[in-house]
A and B are shown apart, each in its own frame.
Chain A
Amino acid sequence: AQRVTQPEKLLSVFKGAPVELKCNYSYSGSPELFWYVQYSRQRLQLLLRHISRESIKGFTADLNKGETSFHLKKPFAQEEDSAMYYCALSATGANSKLTFGKGITLSVRP
Chain B
Amino acid sequence: EAEVAQSPRYKITEKSQAVAFWCDPISGHATLYWYRQILGQGPELLVQFQDESVVDDSQLPKDRFSAERLKGVDSTLKIQPAELGDSAMYLCASSFDRGAYNEQFFGPGTRLTVL
A positions within 8 Å CB-CB of B: 4, 32, 43-46, 49, 51, 86, 88, 92-95, 97-103
Would you call B72 an interface residue if the criterion is a C-beta within 8 Å of the partner chain's C-beta atoms?
no
A59 to chain B, nearest CB (A): 16
B91 A44 Cβ-Cβ under 8 A: yes
* Contact between chains at B42 and A100 (CB < 8 Å): yes
**B105 CB contacts on chain A under 8 angstroms:** 45
Q: Is B90 an interface residue (CB 8 A)?
A: no
Name the B residues within 8 Å of A98 (CB-CB): 33, 43, 45, 104
**In the assembled complex, which residues on chain B have CB atoms less than 8 Å from the CB atom of A32?**
101
CB-CB under 8 A for A94 and B48, given A4-B42, A43-B109? no
Write the nearest CB–CB distance from B6 to chain A, whole angstroms.
9
B101 touches A102 (CB 8 A): no
Q: Determine the interface band of chain B, counting residues with CB < 8 A from chain A.
A: 20 to 34
Asked if residues A43 and B106 are in contact (CB atoms below 8 Å), the reply is: yes
Indicate if the CB atoms of A95 and B42 lie closer than 8 Å. Answer: no
- Chain B, range 23-69, C-beta contacts under 8 Å to A: 31, 33, 40-45, 48, 50, 55-56
Could you tell me if B103 and A46 are in contact, using CB atoms closer than 8 angstroms?
Answer: yes
Chain A, Cβ-Cβ closest to B42: A100
Contact residues, B62-107 vs A (CB, 8 A): 91, 95, 97-107
Residues of A within 8 A of B56 (CB): 97
Inter-chain contact A43/B97, CB cutoff 8 Å = no
Which residues on B sit within 8 Å (CB–CB) of A95? 31, 48, 50, 55, 95, 97, 102
Contact B33–A97 (Cβ < 8 Å): yes
Could you pull out 8 A-B pairs where Cβ atoms are within 8 angstroms? A43-B3, A44-B43, A45-B105, A86-B43, A93-B101, A97-B48, A99-B45, A102-B42
